[in-house]
Structure 1
Amino acid sequence: MPTTNLNIRTDKEIKDRAESIFSELGLNMTTAVNMFLRTTIRENGIPFDLKLYIPNDITASAIEEGRKIAYNDTVKGYSNIEDLKKALEV
């Protein structure tokens, strides 16, 4: 398939921030734009979310608490739901 150049104008900060995200995803700008264009055609519209997962403060705090509990030998663990229910007196 023959190729063509696509010239677009955008703010430098937008381009730099997008390139940084694409780089973390293992993509370059050309590949990311081509993914967007091909998927737009296939879906017949703006097609997808492609983003890094960054939890909000509450979720990040819950993840950190879970990690602390998981590695704390003094925290009681349960291997089945029946034992957990007994401990919770449910």
Structure 2
Amino acid sequence: MATTNLNIRIDKEVKDQAEVIFSELGLNMTTAINIFLRATIRENGIPFNLKLEIPNTTIKAIEEGRNIARDSSVKGYSNIDDLREALEA
């Protein structure tokens, strides 16, 4: 099998942290990158999910806000002056 060189740029801190993990796994950077590339070929794409997620705390806060808005026993304010007054009390 013929080999070739691959030059990439990466933050030093990211590289150093990854090398520590790879070392603990008994791997070097070259082997880890080869594993990633072979998994990419096998999966015919990135071998893990790439997605944008709303953090759970945000989802919970949104749900809490919606529940409060629906709860008729929770006092609401129609202007900022009334809200300030209530907060100062």
With structure 2 as the length reference, what TM-score do the two structures score?
A: 0.52
State the aligned residue count. 49
CA RMSD of aligned residues (A): 1.5
Partner of 1:20: 20
Partner of 1:35: 35
Q: 1:25-64 alignment to 2 at 5 Å?
A: 25-48=25-48
Segments ≥4 residues shifted beyond 3 Å: none
Unaligned runs of 5+ residues in structure 2 are 50-89
Partner of 1:52: none
Percent of residue pairs identical: 82
Q: Deviations over 1:26-79 (max 9, x none)?
A: 100000000000110010111159xxxxxxxxxxxxxxxxxxxxxxxxxxxxxx
Question: Matches of 1:8 and 1:21 in 2, distance apart?
Answer: 19
Unaligned runs of 5+ residues in structure 1 are 50-90
Rg larger for: 2
Q: 1:73-88 alignment to 2 at 5 Å?
A: none
Aligned-partner SS, 1:31:
helix
Partner of 2:5: 5
With structure 1 as the length reference, what TM-score do the two structures score?
A: 0.52
Structure showing greater relative contact order (alpha-carbon pairs closer than 8 Å, 6 or more residues apart): 1
Question: Matches of 1:44 and 1:20 in 2, distance apart?
Answer: 28
